[in-house]
């Protein structure tokens, strides 16, 4: 297993084509906008070496029996699934942002199931290929980007109906040694902090779409791949002097548009090729795992609750009954989310491949709550924080010889609380509810792993209404 330093060094060796604010970034690792997101991934390496987190952060490889980072592990039982949820909460609480490494883990677990199932039907060798890739990932403790979402263009049209065929990533050429693909994947969390990109189709497909039914893995610096970093609310505070106004001093996240322009993939890295009838299953498996992964938001919620309690104390309001009740409500909502990610894991099941999969209904129910509760928790945090959170002048003003004294004087809180500490905690709440981390805590909670309606469709499919109707009819005496 790599440590944080080794991980950072491994990234330096990559030759990525990354663009930000219209220019190519030469040194990705040290770019001040990217750096905090690299730090967050690095934490997944660092904590794996701490004894107190060993149980959560590491696992025994079912391939080699060696101790590996859990992010490269294929779940072997429900306990693994539960630990995944707990690891998510723990890391969310450690970083207060997206640590970006779940998506690769979820992609690999999904592929471990679906490659097996394809092989079972078609006699192909995808699972063998995939396991070889997996061994490479485990051995080298790699971070993988799981790339699913295509740009999609007109949402009313199937892939092959789009005016521009590249709006869904597809095979454009088949060669003896492999395939060539073109297209793009949007919203790629942590893309430039990854060693590998694992591509999957984004929707269930029909025969006409078979060129789009493709899954594979390529090194992140493969020729033809370009990254354009998306901007976040308050992103440029990371390049300002001082650090208070960033809120989170250490960690952050990033998303990128990843463009595939005639990218070559050797056959041994291809895990699905035109088996369109398995595209839906791969999407569903990945989505289910990834909906569970929103366990991390419980951890971010922990930080936001801690920050809210702290500002309440600094404001001298922590004992007001309405404030105490609001803190309780934040905790209640946050722990309700926790119940969701624990339940879908502890109710997991074994797939034919041997991989354990979460309870799909409960994973969807969990994610649906994630599209609601963080918004309410954030609203309450803003209630407790007070208006100062959005009217506070900059750190530069605070450091200014001319006017810093006024801020020092007028922003002091209760006895012994400095204006600076009050500013720091307010900036953290701002960061999570309006700033760079709000992208992850709110909007990504809404759309990541599928928008709310996607979960509702799954809930609808899995709710077993017939059984429920049967119970009702018996009780009121209706004979069918």
Q: Which of 10, 221, 324, 354 binds its own copies (CB under 8 A)?
A: 324
Instruction: Based on the shown chain and the rule CB under 8 A, indicate whether residue 201 belongs to the binding site for its own copies.
Output: no
2-10, 16-24, 211-219, 267-275 -> range binding its own copies (CB under 8 A): 16-24
Instruction: Based on the shown chain and the rule CB under 8 A, indicate whether residue 340 belongs to the binding site for its own copies.
Output: yes
Known active-site residue 444:
yes
Candidates 46, 255, 275, 351; catalytic one: 255
Q: Count CA within 13 A, CB hemisphere, residue 424.
A: 11
Footprint on residues 77-96 left by its own copies (CB under 8 A): 82, 93-96
Q: In angstroms, what is the minimal distance from the CB of 345 to its own copies? A: 8
Candidates 8, 196, 395, 444; catalytic one: 444
Q: Which helix (H) or strand (E) holds 346?
A: helix 321-346
Instruction: Based on the shown chain and the rule CB under 8 A, indicate whether residue 325 belongs to the binding site for its own copies.
Output: yes
Number of residues that this document lists for the chain:
480
Candidates 273, 294, 314, 441; catalytic one: 294
Instruction: Based on the shown chain and the rule CB under 8 A, indicate whether residue 472 belongs to the binding site for its own copies.
Output: yes
Q: How many CB atoms lie within 10 A of CB 153?
A: 16
Candidates 44, 115, 189, 355; catalytic one: 189
Q: Which helix (H) or strand (E) holds 331?
A: helix 321-346
Rounded to whole angstroms, the Cα distance separating 380 from 369 reads 17
Q: Which helix (H) or strand (E) holds 60?
A: strand 58-60
Q: How many residues bind its own copies (CB under 8 A)?
A: 150
Stretch 349-388: interaction string toward its own copies, x if CB under 8 A: ------------xx--xx-xx-xx--xx--x--xx--xxx
The distance between the two most distant Cα atoms of the chain, rounded to a whole number of Å, is 84
β-partners of residue 270 are 216
Footprint on residues 94-123 left by its own copies (CB under 8 A): 94-96
Footprint on residues 206-235 left by its own copies (CB under 8 A): 226, 228-234
Footprint on residues 158-197 left by its own copies (CB under 8 A): 163-164, 166-167, 184, 186-187
Can you say whether residue 354 is alpha, beta or left, with left for phi > 0 and alpha for psi between -120 and 50 degrees? left
Known active-site residue 97:
no
Rounded to whole angstroms, the Cα distance separating 251 from 383 reads 25
Known active-site residue 98:
yes
Instruction: Based on the shown chain and the rule CB under 8 A, indicate whether residue 321 belongs to the binding site for its own copies.
Output: yes
Footprint on residues 38-77 left by its own copies (CB under 8 A): none
Instruction: Based on the shown chain and the rule CB under 8 A, indicate whether residue 411 belongs to the binding site for its own copies.
Output: yes
Rounded to whole angstroms, the Cα distance separating 425 from 37 reads 20
Residue 369 is encoded by which pair of tokens? 């709550």
Known active-site residue 341:
no
Question: Whole-angstrom distance between the N-terminal and C-terminal Cα of the chain?
Answer: 61
Q: Which of 433, 340, 421 is nearest to 380 (CA)?
A: 433
Active site residues: 98, 102, 189, 255, 290, 294, 296, 444
């Amino acid at each position: 297993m790599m440590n944080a330093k080794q991980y950072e060094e491994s990234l330096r060796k990559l030759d990525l084509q990354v663009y930000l604010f219209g220019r190519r970034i030469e040194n990705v690792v040290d770019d001040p906008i990217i750096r905090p997101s690299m730090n967050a991934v690095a934490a997944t390496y660092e904590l794996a070496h701490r004894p107190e987190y060993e149980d959560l952060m590491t696992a025994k490889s079912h391939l080699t029996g060696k101790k590996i980072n859990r992010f490269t592990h294929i779940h072997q039982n429900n306990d693994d699934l539960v630990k995944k949820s707990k690891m998510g909460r723990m890391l969310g609480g450690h970083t207060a942002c997206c640590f970006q490494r779940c998506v690769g883990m979820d992609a690999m677990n999904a592929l471990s199931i679906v490659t097996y199932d394809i092989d079972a039907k078609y006699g192909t060798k995808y699972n063998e290929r995939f396991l070889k890739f997996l061994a490479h990932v485990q051995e080298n403790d790699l971070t993988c980007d799981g790339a699913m979402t295509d740009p999609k263009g007109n949402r009313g049209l199937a892939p092959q109906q789009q005016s521009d065929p590249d709006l869904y990533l597809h095979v454009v050429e088949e060669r003896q040694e492999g395939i060539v693909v073109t297209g793009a994947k949007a919203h790629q969390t942590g893309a430039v902090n990854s060693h590998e990109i694992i591509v999957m189709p984004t929707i269930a497909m029909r025969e006409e779409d078979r060129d789009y039914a493709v899954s594979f893995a390529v090194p992140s610096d493969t020729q033809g791949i370009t990254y354009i970093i998306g901007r976040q609310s308050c992103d440029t505070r990371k390049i300002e002097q001082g650090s208070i106004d960033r809120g989170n001093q250490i960690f952050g996240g990033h998303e990128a548009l990843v463009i595939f322009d005639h990218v070559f993939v050797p056959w041994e890295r291809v895990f699905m090729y035109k088996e369109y009838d398995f595209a839906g299953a791969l999407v569903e498996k990945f989505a289910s795992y990834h909906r569970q992964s929103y366990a991390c938001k419980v951890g971010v919620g922990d930080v936001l609750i801690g920050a809210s309690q702290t500002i309440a104390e600094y404001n001298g309001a922590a004992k007001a009954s309405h404030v105490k009740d609001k803190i309780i409500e934040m905790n209640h909502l946050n722990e309700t989310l926790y119940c969701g990610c624990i339940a879908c894991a502890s109710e997991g099941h074994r797939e034919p491949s041997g991989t354990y999969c979460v309870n799909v209904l409960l994973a969807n129910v969990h994610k649906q709550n994630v599209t609601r509760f963080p918004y309410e928790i954030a609203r309450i945090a803003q209630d407790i924080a007070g208006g100062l959170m959005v009217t506070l002048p900059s750190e530069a003003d605070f450091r200014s010889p001319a006017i810093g004294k006024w801020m020092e004087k007028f922003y002091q809180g209760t006895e012994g609380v400095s204006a600076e500490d009050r500013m720091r905690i307010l900036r953290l709440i701002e960061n999570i509810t309006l700033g760079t981390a709000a992208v992850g805590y709110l909007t990504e909670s809404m759309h990541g792993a599928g928008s709310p309606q996607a979960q509702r469709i799954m809930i609808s499919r899995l709710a077993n209404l017939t059984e429920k109707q049967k119970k009702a009819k018996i009780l009121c005496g209706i004979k069918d």
